[in-house]
Amino acid sequence: MNILILGSGGREHTFAWKIAQSPKCEKLFVAPGNSGTAQVATNINIGVTDFPAIKELVLNNHIDLVVVGPEDPLVQGVHDYFLNDEALKHISVIGPQKKAAELEGSKEFAKEFLYRHNIPTAAYESFTKKTVEKGYAFLETLNAPYVLKADGLAAGKGVVILNDLNEAKAELKSMLVDAKFGEASTKVVIEEFLDGIELSCFVLTDGEHYKILPTAKDYKRIGEGDTGLNTGGMGAVSPVPFATDEFLNKIEERIVKPTIQGFKKDNLPYVGFVFIGLIKVGNDPKVIEYNVRMGDPETEVVLPRLKNDFVEILLAMANGTLDKIDIEIDERAATTIMTVSGGYPEAYEKGKEITGVNDIKDSIAFHAGAQLKDEKIVTSGGRVMAITSYGNTYQEAIKKSYQSIEKLHFDKMYYRKDIGFDL
């Protein structure tokens, strides 16, 4: 069968790498893709939210299955676009419809869902420009630190955590009254601060059944020791050493099951990946957020540990037969280290030549912000390449990734040297 992946990051290169290994995959396309996906698939330079262009691509190339990488097209309704089009509606799309994608598209929608289904999460209230005074009063009832979240998609920047009450009030005003995040902060969710260690849980669902993939932990801050600005993710480790069987059982019973049942009760059609951002408070898991896609760079450690034919799994998701699949996981740990452009997540330069990728033999280089230009690989984004390794322990895997990075070069390359420090 012919398959199209939408997206251009490390996650999509990992999808392409895994899908290309399946004998079920005949032709593989990625739109728009990067220099990594170009090694295993045909890149087509169209945007992930250009639905008419995607339609043309799908019809011209007899695509049978579309795998959506990032959240934007899902929140904008790419799955619904297919279902509402006579020529496209028989084509399988992996990714929830617009209504369910609101779980990531709106923090308030997600909080209401969590409360309605009694899924453990932080206490919250939400506010608008009209109720900003009530927001100040609510902040006064909380203890520091204060967690403020822009309701809508804000390119990963919409969560602000402050220690000072007056700063929190000023931030609330800036979000609601001065539209700091534009449309995304028309509403703001203020949340109880949860103190604990974070991990990510990935669930596959066909809307009826579910399967849980290995856990992973990502490192979001730019600086060592988890300091500095938030990024898309600077590295990841799977499995998460502190996620014992007992703890995983709590996640499944208290969070995964009610989430999947919640989709059904609320009539939210969901075929796709559910990314549950969790925090371990004491010995209990609580939900920080839902994402309606796989994580990046978590995908770069989760998929390499999956032994199954990924296309068989994707088809089972599309066909409602996920209960027939036995997920098989590699016992080894996998880690990834993200190399980024100097300056990221603030301003950085692009177009730097990347050398040494072919010298990496003991790890897998998943390309992210990297493109082919005149037969050279050049940087094209903040997160450039994720270097994934296996090991009998996560320490061994991390060491291998760091050794492989020694071979990689581009001007102003930066990476964190402490991934896994807190485990």
- Binding residues for ligand GLY, rule: CB under 6 A, are 218, 232-233, 291, 295-296, 298
Q: How far apart are CA 338 and CA 382, in angstroms?
A: 10
Given 65, 122, 256, 357, the residue binding ligand AMP (CB under 6 A): 122
Question: Which partner, ligand AMP, ligand GLY, none, binds residue 193 by CB below 5 to 8 Å per kind?
Answer: ligand AMP
92-94 vs 353-354, strand pairing mode: unpaired
Taking the least distance from each CB to ligand GLY, the nearer of 92 and 231 is: 231
Judged by CB under 6 A, the chain residues 273 through 292 that form the site for ligand AMP are 277, 288-289
Binding residue (CB under 6 A) for ligand AMP from 65, 184, 194, 385 = 194
Tokens of 221: 């801050």
Read off the tokens for 112: 């209401």
Query: Residue 198 binds which one of ligand GLY, ligand AMP, none, with CB within 5 to 8 A depending on kind?
Result: ligand AMP
CB of 412 to ligand GLY, least distance (A): 23
Strands 65-68 and 3-7: parallel
Q: Which stretch binds ligand AMP (CB under 6 A): 86-94, 191-199, 297-305, 399-407?
A: 191-199
Q: Applying CB under 6 A, which of residues 50, 85, 112, 198 lies at the interface with ligand AMP? A: 198
Count residues near ligand AMP (CB under 6 A).
Answer: 12
Indicate the burial class of 388 (C-beta count within 10 angstroms; 0-12, 13-18, 19 or more): buried
Question: What does each C-alpha distance from 153 to 310, 374, 422 come to in angstroms?
Answer: 29, 35, 29
User: Distance from CA of residue 52 to its chain's centroid?
Assistant: 25
241 is an interface residue for ligand AMP by CB under 6 A: no
- H/E run at residue 81: helix 78-83
Name 204's bridge partners: 211, 273
Binding residue for ligand AMP, selected from 159, 212, 281, 413, defined by CB under 6 A: 159
Nearer to ligand AMP, 55 or 220 (CB): 220
CB atoms within 10 A of CB 374: 6
**How far is it, in rounded angstroms, from Cα 370 to Cα 351?**
9
Selected range binding ligand AMP among 87-95, 128-136, 186-194, 401-409, rule: CB under 6 A: 186-194
Smallest separation, CB 361 to ligand AMP (Å)? 34
Q: Does 147 bind ligand AMP (CB under 6 A)?
A: yes
Which has the closest alpha carbon to 57: 31, 79, 94? 31
* Count of CB atoms situated within 10 Å of the CB of 278: 27
Contact 157, 123 (CB under 8 A): no
Q: How far is the CB of 294 from ligand GLY (least distance, A)?
A: 7
Select the binding partner of residue 73 from ligand GLY, ligand AMP, none (C-beta < 5 to 8 A, by kind).
Answer: none
Judged by beta carbon distances under 5 to 8 A according to partner kind, the member of ligand GLY, ligand AMP, none in contact with residue 291 is ligand GLY
Number of Cβ within 10 Å of residue 201's Cβ equals 26
The contact set with ligand AMP (CB under 6 A) reads 122, 147, 159, 191-194, 198, 220, 277, 288-289
